[in-house]
Amino acid sequence: MQSRFRRAGSIALLAGAAFSAGLVFAPPLHAGRFNPYQKLGVFTKVLSYIEGHYVEDISESDLMYGAARGLTDVLDPHSRFMDPDEYAKLKKETEGNEEIEGIGIDVEKRKNKFVIVSPIEGSPAAKAGIEPGDVIKRVDGTDISTLEFDDAIARMQGPAGSEVVLVVDRHGRELSYRIKRGRYEVKAVEGRLIEPGIAYIKIRVFSTTTDSSLGELLEQLSAKAKGFKAVILDLRRNPGGFLDQGIRVADRFLSEGLIVRTVGKGGQVMDEARATRRNTWEGFPMITLVDGATASAAEIVAGALQDHGRSVILGTQTFGKGSVQTVIDIDGCGPKPCGLKLTVARYYTPNGRSIQGQGITPDVVVDATAPPADPDEAELPRERDLHKRLRNEQGDKPVETPRLDDYQLQMALDYLHSWSMFAKQTAKK
């Protein structure tokens, strides 16, 4: 697809790689080099034995869905068959801002591990303390390592007000979280002026409305600030989304040049997206915040801005998803279609970098939390501590250095302040 979240189930619990470097909803694909009729004999025999001899009755739809999932299980972790319910949830998530019910985590199955890509900001899971990279071991006491993807997700889902207990592995430590499911709003784009002329813009996901929402927000904030002095673009914990939305967002800040190249089967170049001068926001410095949960379409934006020197990338190494998925309607599943999410291409940044398994390396590496304070520093005496010191004839003033709780955002502000000072010094020369 060319654009969608790297997670298939992310927002409500969802899970798995539906949101990716790019989802793209596509028409049915043609058969490849395999002749399906030659392989149907094996499938028919297995199906016949199961129906005739398996100890319990299994519905026809369960058998068919299980067989389809089996085909995608041998592919990469972002390719997946979705039954009608799962597919409907995926399409709903792409519609834009909405209220979701659940615990709010983006999950992927990697071999036999269920890994949390990102908790959704403002969701019950995020408030409980769930972090990116946590590996879910047990759900309500049940070991889920041997469960199918849908079965594991179903155990985590439930109505608002109900509770679920997750036991996760975090760097070798087992932690238990009791989470009350609830309803929470997911906004693709939010922002504000954090200082006069400095805009802070948070993009949580690349849904169908992300670019238009970003355009409206930029206009509103620019009018309020009477022009931007700087912009901080926050892509932390953004699991990706529609590829075309990522391209449009990057185009908002680039006036020319390649944004991303997608290469499909056999090395065939599928597309080369380029920036246009129309509606470009430039003439001010930018810092883009990233972390280990910045993935897919979000990495495309960060990579394009970095390669063109349009923005300094600040934070920690990104997730490293360098592939593109397409989503295909599958008829024959009843009144609602099934879906097939299939990896169809790799993508490359303007400088030809593949971030698959590597991620984007920030220009300025800043951890999420501040380093511990030096206890010796606090013990150093100051002039104000001396007995019989001279008073300040202008009056003693409390020394206060206001700092944001968000360490990486505070560092971005500090860099912007330093650039402003350097620019003034250079102008004097």
State how far the Cα of 344 lies from the Cα of 349, in Å rounded to an integer. Answer: 17
State how far the Cα of 391 lies from the Cα of 384, in Å rounded to an integer. Answer: 9
State how far the Cα of 206 lies from the Cα of 209, in Å rounded to an integer. Answer: 8
Q: Could you tell me where the DSSP H helices lie in 261-356?
A: 297-307
Burial of 387 (C-beta count, 10 Å sphere; 0-12/13-18/19+):
exposed
State how far the Cα of 320 lies from the Cα of 112, in Å rounded to an integer. Answer: 20
- Residue 219 CA, chain-centre distance (Å), reads 25
Burial of 185 (C-beta count, 10 Å sphere; 0-12/13-18/19+):
exposed
* Active-site amino acid positions: 296, 307, 321
Residue 107 dihedral angles phi and psi, to the nearest 5°: -120, 145
* Residue 107: closest CA among 117, 96, 99, 97: 117
DSSP collapsed to 3 states, 153-202: HHHHCCCCCCEEEEEEEECCEEEEEEEECEEEEECCEEEEEEECCEEEEE
Residues 6+ apart with CB under 8 A from 334: 61, 84
State how far the Cα of 113 lies from the Cα of 109, in Å rounded to an integer. Answer: 6
* Residue 210: closest CA among 242, 233, 239: 242
Instruction: Map tokens 């920690």 to a residue.
Output: 316
Instruction: Map tokens 């908002």 to a residue.
Output: 252
